[in-house]
């Protein structure tokens, strides 16, 4: 299959961005502390890039999944070995200030597979997702079970790959986004 993953990902992300952010601000999400933190950070600076990051970081929480072993934000002084220990698949973002859940400036963004950094210098979190999806397809790696709905949304709704067949949870989100 020849598909420009980056183009389809960003087009899908930007198309669904406003509706997803609206859903993240709903009463249902107000009960999720991590989601409130992400949305509060976005309120301070709502650039388009920060909106993209907020949508991607909030998606697992919205889908009732825990991304704590998938997305890690650390400072450059933190031990890389400690950060990747136990991480089978994930994104590590190195920043100057870890108190902001949506990093404005990143020092490094890297992909981790099986406790090994496989790609560095990705620039930002959305680009890391695009590269991760490409690696998953190229290496035929299954999505992590604890993040299956998040990856299904990225594949089927954002990238529009196999959008005809969705799990019930993703199909419900698809219907909400299209209304």
Task: Read off the tokens for 177.
Answer: 């986004």
CA 160 to chain centre: 16
Q: What distance in Å separates the CA atoms of residue 64 and residue 49, rounded to the nearest whole number? A: 24
* Domain ranges, residue 66: 5-178
What was the pLDDT predicted at 17? 95
pLDDT the model gives residue 1? 55
CA-to-CA separations, 47 to 18, 41, 43, 54, 139, in angstroms, rounded: 13, 11, 10, 10, 34
Query: Which are the contacts of 120, defined by CB distance < 8 A and separation ≥ 6?
Result: 108, 109, 110
Q: Cα 17 to chain center, whole Å?
A: 13
pLDDT tens, the chain, 179 aa long: 567 788 999 999 999 999 999 999 988 788 889 999 999 989 888 889 999 999 999 999 999 999 988 988 888 777 888 888 888 899 999 888 777 778 777 889 999 999 899 999 998 999 999 999 988 888 888 888 889 999 999 999 999 888 788 899 999 999 999 88
DSSP state of 102: S
Burial of 127-155, coded b for 16+ CB within 10 Å and e otherwise, reads: bbbbbbbeebeeeeeebbebbbbbbbbbb
Residues 6 or more apart in contact with residue 80 via CB below 8 angstroms: 92, 117
Counted domains in the chain: 1
């Amino acid at each position: 299959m020849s598909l420009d993953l980056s183009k389809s990902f960003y087009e899908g992300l930007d198309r669904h961005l406003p509706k997803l952010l609206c859903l993240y601000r709903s009463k249902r999400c107000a009960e999720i502390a991590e989601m409130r933190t992400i949305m509060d950070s976005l309120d301070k600076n709502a650039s388009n890039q920060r909106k993209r990051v907020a949508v991607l970081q909030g998606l697992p929480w919205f889908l009732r999944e825990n991304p704590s072993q998938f997305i890690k934000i650390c400072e450059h002084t933190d031990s890389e070995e400690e950060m990747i220990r136990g991480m089978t698949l994930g994104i590590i973002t190195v920043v100057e200030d870890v108190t902001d859940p949506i990093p404005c400036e990143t020092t490094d963004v890297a992909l981790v597979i099986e406790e090994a950094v496989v790609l560095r210098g990705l620039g930002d979190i959305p680009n890391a997702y695009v590269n991760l999806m490409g690696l998953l397809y190229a290496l035929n790696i299954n999505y992590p079970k604890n993040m299956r709905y998040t990856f299904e949304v990225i594949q089927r709704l954002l990238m529009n790959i196999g959008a005809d067949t969705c799990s019930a949870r993703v199909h419900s989100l698809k219907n909400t986004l299209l209304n």
